[in-house]
Amino acid sequence: MTRLLSTIILAIAALWAVPVHAASQYEESLKQLAEGVIADAVKAGKGQLALVDFTDAKGAVTPIGKFLAEELGTQILVTGELKVVERAMVGSTLKKFHVTQFEPAQAKAVNQAAKAVNADVFATGSYLESPDGLRVTVKLLNPSTLHSLGATRGTIPKAGPLAELIKEAHKPPVVKVDLAAKPAPPPGL
């Protein structure tokens, strides 16, 4: 009986520790990514960061990309070494100036948007899903030249709220069928 009770307690303790360990790995990976961004920004003499929603491997902004940008921005703010412009304000300002991509053809509009939000550096990011987690790359761009000031990357484990977002992203789309609609007549009738 004592052996059974100790086995049960050990099993519960082990199961409880796994999510805590995964969460700590998630936080640590995010912290390392933030430290890399901060180091590059400080090295370039920049202090006001504007984060842009991250994109997937196809270049599309997704809920996961928005989440990663928000989490990274929060982690950078926690350190207190850089000021971070509100992500939603950055997005609306870029739309106002018709910035769709960070490319030389749009350098003037990007620079105007940076002045409007009082940012001296933009952080763009992308992610790629791998078996180990999400491979995240963040680049710092000078708003006036669009030259890269630095880059950092890391792997963030699929844990916590990120795991839920990934699970949601992999769900098949819901298809609604209107049973009251009549099928179209065959062609030629």
Q: How far apart are CA 124 and CA 85, in angstroms?
A: 13
Contact yes or no for 43/151 (Cβ under 8 A): no
Q: For position 3, what pLDDT does the model report? A: 63
Q: For position 1, what pLDDT does the model report? A: 61
CA 68 to chain centre: 2
pTM (predicted TM-score): 0.76
Q: For position 177, what pLDDT does the model report? A: 72
Q: How far apart are CA 15 and CA 71, in angstroms?
A: 26
Name the residue among 42, 41, 37, 98 with its Cα closest to residue 69: 37
Contact yes or no for 88/15 (Cβ under 8 A): no
Q: For position 7, what pLDDT does the model report? A: 54
CA 164 to chain centre: 14
Q: For position 188, what pLDDT does the model report? A: 72
For the chain, list residues with pLDDT below 50: 13-22
Q: For position 120, what pLDDT does the model report? A: 94
The partner residues of 51 in beta bridges, in order of sequence, read 123
